Structure 1
Amino acid sequence: MATFEKGILGGFSGKVGNVVGARWRGKNVMRSLPQRGDYTPTENQILQRERFRTVVKFLTPIKGLVSKYYGKQQGDKSPYNLATSYHLKEALIEVGDDFVIDYPKVLISKGDLRGLDNPSITAAANQVVNMAWTDNSGQGNANPLDQLVVVFYAPDLEVFQVFEPAGTREETAVQLTMPAFLSGSEMTAWATFVTADNNKAAVSSYLGTVTIT
């Protein structure tokens, strides 16, 4: 891109031949038109695009949560960028010509806070999920008031249900009520602890699956 003060006919806007003129930040600028031609992506490029599409489609609905709890900015890479990179490398399974998310390897958060010990989930009536864990307060940097965050995902519906916060570390058990429309759905779940000020998070735990009744 080039700038100019006075052309033969003064400044211009639009396309003339293979040159485009415009006004940008108070200056007259010119740039050449991009080269166009036949382009056929390679098989590897197609696969990489499909991998990326699968990960982004999965993470986008919980981008806000992942952006808060997936570590710290590293250079020009945001927490969400870091989460995307991890899932591209570690949490995909190739099935024929497609890719699917490897749910046990999904991480909704990443950090140095002490995580959950012995977490479990079970279904109860009226769309309730009972969750339990062991109170490990005082071990390492675990605080009894650390907040529990739980994320459920219904693969068939491609719907997330987030409980933030769902309880505290010292409680050891909570009841989580799902929306009625999720009744009958099999849901995959993950949970983590975050500090009360949201500055630190644990590496999340995979909780398995549960069918909402």
Structure 2
Amino acid sequence: MGRIRNGANGGFKGKAGSVIGSSWKSINYIKGLYKKRSKPASEEQLMQQAKFSLITAFLFPIKALLRIGYGLKRANTNTGMNMALKANINEAVVGTYPNYMLDYSKIKLSAGGLFTAGSEAISRTGTELTVTWNTTVNAVSGNTDDSVYLLVYHPASEQFLTTDVVPLRSDGEAAINIPAHITSGEGHAWIFYAERKAKEVSKSIYLGTVSFD
């Protein structure tokens, strides 16, 4: 049975006849009951489902990071994960159905107007990755205490790597430890910046690949 909130003109929660009422982020929704599909999905629908599954599988493990990277974009009606899906599904998923793949260079982990630092680069020495960036700041380029978020993905093991502690813009560099079991293949790296309270973020930068061989 549905429960009406705030009088007859308010939203309701639960099932009422052929509709279901719910609320998310203080917004009331009404939707029809699910109807079992009576005909097979079209090829276009299958293509979109395949794209969605591929990009979701990549983004889901880092949804906490996406809450920072996309947390300011329509945060009252969408989650960071939803915004990241919308930003990446048509750009980062490439190839021909059913053989879709990810173009890692086109994946965006954040969106915003905060200035990046410049001179971002990644290198490897032994069992450690080092990411460096410019520390110069001025009235429009950010603050010394901006957080710097780093991410490395190793497709062969489907594992994400990052720093133990979130570095600051003023640090100029940060190290990422390579797990002992990762001894071959390559990784893909990204960086983005966020104001100390994450009220402003930058666009993410793809740093390229790094070899683990």
Q: Which residue is equivalent to 1:63?
A: 63
Classify the secondary structure of the residue corresponding to 1:50: helix
| Cα displacement (A) at 1:42 | 0.7
Greater RCO between the two (CA within 8 Å, min separation 6)? Answer: 1
Q: Which contiguous aligned blocks of 4+ residues in structure 1 show a shift greater than 3 angstroms?
A: 33-38
CA 1:205–1:34: 2 relative to 1, 3 Å:
closer
Q: Which residue is equivalent to 2:171?
A: 171
Q: Which residue is equivalent to 1:119?
A: 120
Larger of the two Rg values belongs to structure: 1
Q: Which residue is equivalent to 2:40?
A: 40
| Cα displacement (A) at 1:149 | 1.0
TM-score (structure 1 length as normaliser): 0.77
In structure 2, C-alpha distance between the alignment counterparts of 1:134 and 1:150, rounded to whole Å? 15
Q: Which amino acid aligns with 1:59?
A: L
| CA contact 2:47–2:97 (8 Å) conserved in 1 | no
Q: Could you tell which deviates more after superposition, 153-162 or 69-78?
A: 69-78
Q: Which runs of 5+ in 1 are unaligned?
A: 3-23
Q: Which residue is equivalent to 1:20?
A: none
Q: Which amino acid aligns with 2:84?
A: A
In structure 2, C-alpha distance between the alignment counterparts of 1:161 and 1:43, rounded to whole Å? 36
CA 1:197–1:38: 2 relative to 1, 3 Å:
closer
In structure 2, C-alpha distance between the alignment counterparts of 1:41 and 1:179, rounded to whole Å? 42
Residue correspondence of structure 1 range 1-213 to structure 2 within 5 A = 38-74=38-74, 76-95=77-96, 97-125=98-126, 127-138=127-138, 140-163=140-163, 165-212=165-212
In structure 1, C-alpha distance between the alignment counterparts of 2:81 and 2:130, rounded to whole Å? 30
Aligned identity (percent) is 24
| CA contact 1:184–1:212 (8 Å) conserved in 2 | yes
| CA contact 1:137–1:143 (8 Å) conserved in 2 | yes
| Cα displacement (A) at 1:137 | 1.3
**How large is the Cα RMSD of the aligned pairs?**
2.9
TM-score (structure 2 length as normaliser): 0.77
Classify the secondary structure of the residue corresponding to 1:121: strand
In structure 1, C-alpha distance between the alignment counterparts of 2:193 and 2:55, rounded to whole Å? 23
Classify the secondary structure of the residue corresponding to 1:84: helix
| Cα displacement (A) at 1:38 | 4.1
| Cα displacement (A) at 1:111 | 1.4
Q: Which amino acid aligns with 2:121?
A: S
Q: Which residue is equivalent to 1:8?
A: none
CA 1:97–1:147: 2 relative to 1, 3 Å:
same
CA 1:44–1:93: 2 relative to 1, 3 Å:
same
Classify the secondary structure of the residue corresponding to 2:90: helix
In structure 1, C-alpha distance between the alignment counterparts of 2:186 and 2:35, rounded to whole Å? 50
